[in-house]
Amino acid sequence: MSTWLIERLQNQAEQAMRTALLAVGIEDVEDIRLQPPRDESMGDLGLPCHPFAKVLRKNPKVIAEDVAANVPQGDGIASAEAINGYVNIRFDGNTLLKGAIREALDSGDKLGTVDDHKGEKLLIEFSGPNTNKPQHLGHVRNNILGLAMSNLFEAVGYELVRTNIINDRGIHICKSMLAYKLFGDGATPESRDRKGDFFVGDFYVLFDQKFNEEYSAYLKEHPGESIEKDDYFNTKSDLGAQAKEMLRQWEDGDEEVRALWEKMNNWVYDGFNETYERLGISFDWVDYENETYVLGKGVVEKGIDEGTFLRRDDNAVVCELEKLGKEGQKILLRPDGTSLYMTQDLGTAMRRLEKFDPNRMIYVVADEQNYHFELLFGMLNLVREGFGDRCYHLSYGMVDLPSGRMKSREGTVVDADNLMDELQQLAVTKVKEYDADLSDEDAFERAEKIGQAGLKYFILKFTPATRMRFDPEQSIAFEGETGPYCLYSYARINSIAAKLPDVETSTDDEVLDALGSELELAVARQLMQFPMVVRNAAEHIAPSMLARYLFQLAKSFSTLYQDKNHRFIGAEGHLPSARMTLGRAVQAVLQRGLQLMGIETIEQM
């Protein structure tokens, strides 16, 4: 749909207000923007008249009265009223109700979409796991933010490229590989009945355990010596020496080491894919660090030739931060020629620029990397003029859990899969309470969707920058501002329809003319707002706007349904059909909105 009802009514209201302002002597009215009053009972859109007091030399209350008297009605405008220096316009209820309902029911998968960014390409990077362990709670927030924002960006017209960067090289990867080589005895994920990423993660944990044993033994043998773990790893440890040697062999292309690396990484990828599938996530392009760190070296070497970067006397290559308006230097290549994360990110960004040429490039990464991305975008501007200005860091806060809840086997990290399993188990109990006769298979299938809805909604209802505490039990509550409440509201409309088997929905005028109460109008106003909510959530990178809206819509419909004067069952004339049609419109918007958040609806709760 090219123009939504809310846009048409806003345009009509603004044009009507311009006409009224010209009539009272205000000529510069091109940039008039009406805003909803704080109190919804005062109208749909309002304009303060205080800015015109100097020009007209009148009290704003008098100006508002004059303007209100000159607002032309019709074309969806029912009335204009002056209140305390404001002119508040009220839309025609019949136009609003019919338009909002028909829009929701007739738009299909285009519901809420706009063409603001048609013809523009947006690349979004999210997830970014390491191949030495399963994804954890921090990845969960990253994945869910990336999924929701991808859907929202697509809804406002962008051509999307969903990308992931897999950190598949480095000393941390070699620790898992070495532990497997020394202690794995040829085991496989299948032989131990272990998910691939958990299987490899076990060996990462095992390396740490064996290293701690070695470190403790050394301290006992040298009671007077004080040495930190990192120093011991780099200078004294036999395991540390073996891990570093394995990294050197990997970088030299040793066939045996590379074969082990590839085998273990493939186990991890299989595990990651299961996690992504469960979350409803897929990618259009995946970068791997083992490739991009080499590309980054090329970018830096070219920068030296062009005078962008500087090679110091100790052979290290740096960016002088003065060029970015900061102090100091940022090392891009160590004296021995090895690269850093910044090097890799420069190479990754330049490859994406050349391959996809995106208008915007967004990185979903935790706020601990804020300074890193500030420098990265500045350097990208140095390497390719204006490129860094296309980039944006979607920074998000850490996720905490209530003390003692769902700790993983390491005692410090909550794995994504364990968290999802726990939520499913909690939801099964609630599902069985509502329907004791439900089969175990159906109960677990329903509970999985409820758990996913609880997890995704809970995370998305907070602004990304907020450090949040995830409460598993609260997240799957069927009451309050939760995903399951929205699912319940969607399914409840099916339950209402089941109680009215002979009532058919209809968008015919004679049916919808039966509506018009304040509660019915309140629901229609909320329905009408949906495209603007989607637009604002995308533009402000704030999926919390959508989460809050869906809860309010569900609550408004619940208020209508529970009101004794708005019966669905037993109402006269066209009212049962009209109210059921309004309910189906709410259901369509709830389904589409939840879909944008990555949440699948349930037909029956």
pLDDT band at 38 (very low <50, low <70, confident <90, very high): confident
**Residue 86, H or E segment:** strand 86-91
Q: Quick count: other Cβ atoms within 10 Å of Cβ 235?
A: 10
Q: Is the predicted pLDDT of residue 411 greater than 60, yes or no?
A: no
Each residue's pLDDT tens digit, 563-588: 999 999 989 999 999 999 999 999 99
Q: What is the b/e burial string over 242-265, where b = at least 16 CB atoms within 10 angstroms of the residue's CB?
A: ebbebbebbeeeeeebeebbeebb
Indicate whether this model's pTM tops 0.95.
no
3-state DSSP assignment of residue 555: helix
Rounded mean pLDDT, 441-452: 95
Joined together, the tokens standing for residue 258 give 């590379």
CA–CA separation, 249 and 505 (whole Å): 70
- Is the predicted pLDDT of residue 1 greater than 60, yes or no? no
% of the chain at pLDDT higher than 70: 98
Q: Is 62 exposed, middle or buried (0-12, 13-18, 19+ CB in 10 A)?
A: middle
Sequence-distant (≥ 6) Cβ neighbours of residue 201 within 8 angstroms = 132, 133, 134, 176
3-state SS string over 397-456?
A: CCEECCCCCCCCCCCCCCEHHHHHHHHHHHHHHHHHHHCCCCCHHHHHHHHHHHHHHHHH
DSSP string, 214-255: HHHHHHHHSTT----HHHHHHHT-HHHHHHHHHHHHHHTT-H
pLDDT at 410 over 60: no
Distance, CA of 326 to CA of 332 (rounded, Å): 16
Distance of CA 310 to the CA centre of its chain: 39
SS3 81: strand
Sheet strand arrangement including 329-333: 310-311, 317-320, 329-333
Over residues 517-555, the pLDDT tens digits come to 999 999 999 999 999 999 999 999 999 999 999 999 999
Write the burial class of residue 220 (CB in 10 Å: 0-12 exposed, 13-18 middle, 19+ buried).
exposed
Q: What is the pLDDT of residue 412?
A: 58
Q: Mind listing the pLDDT tens digit for each residue in 195-230? A: 999 999 999 999 999 999 999 999 999 998 899 999
What is the mean predicted confidence (pLDDT) over 361-389?
Answer: 97
pLDDT > 90: percent of the chain = 88
**pLDDT class for 403, splitting at 50, 70, 90?**
low
Q: What is the pLDDT of residue 493?
A: 97
The CA-atom distances, in angstroms, between 278 and each of 63, 168, 417, 448, 490 are 59, 22, 9, 9, 22
Angle in degrees, 0-180, between the axes of helices 543-562 and 137-155, rounded to the nearest 10: 80
Query: What is the greatest pairwise CA distance in the chain?
Result: 94
* Residue 328 near residue 312, CB atoms below 8 Å: no
Pairing of strands 391-396, 399-400: unpaired
d(CA 180, CA 176): 6
Lookup: tokens for 467? 């450090």
Is residue 48 within 8 A of residue 34, CB to CB? The reply is no
Match 């897929």 to its residue by tokens: 282
**Residue 131 DSSP code:** T
pLDDT value for 75: 85
Chain Cα centroid distance, residue 579: 33
Residue 333: pLDDT over 70: yes
CA 386 vs. chain centroid, Å, equals 26
pLDDT for the residue numbered 455: 97
Nearest to 274 by CA among 197, 192, 364, 183: 197
Q: What is the average pLDDT across 400-422?
A: 70
Copy the structure tokens of residue 37: 């009053």
Q: Indicate the average pLDDT of the chain.
A: 94
- Report the C-alpha gap between 335 and 314 in whole angstroms: 6
User: How much is the average pLDDT of 371-379?
Assistant: 98
Q: What is the pLDDT of residue 2?
A: 56
pLDDT given for residue 406 in this prediction? 40
- For 64-106, the pLDDT digits (tens) are 999 999 999 888 999 999 999 999 999 999 999 999 999 999 9
pLDDT score of 462 more than 90: yes
Q: What pLDDT, on a 0 to 100 scale, did the predictor assign at position 316?
A: 95
What is the DSSP pairing of strand 86-91 with strand 77-83? antiparallel
Contacts of 411 (CB under 8 A, 6+ apart): none
- pLDDT of 368 > 90? The answer is yes
In this predicted structure, what is the pLDDT of residue 192?
A: 97
Which one-letter DSSP state was computed for residue 186?
T
The answer to whether residue 5 scores a pLDDT higher than 90 is yes
CA dist., res. 89 & res. 82, Å (int): 9
Domains and CATH numbers, the chain: 5-91 (3.30.1360.70), 169-283 (no CATH), 420-596 (1.10.730.10)
Q: 221 vs 40, 217, 224, 234, 497, CA distance in Å?
A: 76, 6, 9, 18, 77
Cα 396 from chain centre? 10
pLDDT at 30 over 60: yes
pLDDT at 408 over 60: no
CA geometry: angle at 593 spanning 588 and 599, to 5°? 105
Helix, strand, coil tally for the chain in percent (to 5): 55, 10, 30
Residue 225 one-letter amino acid? E
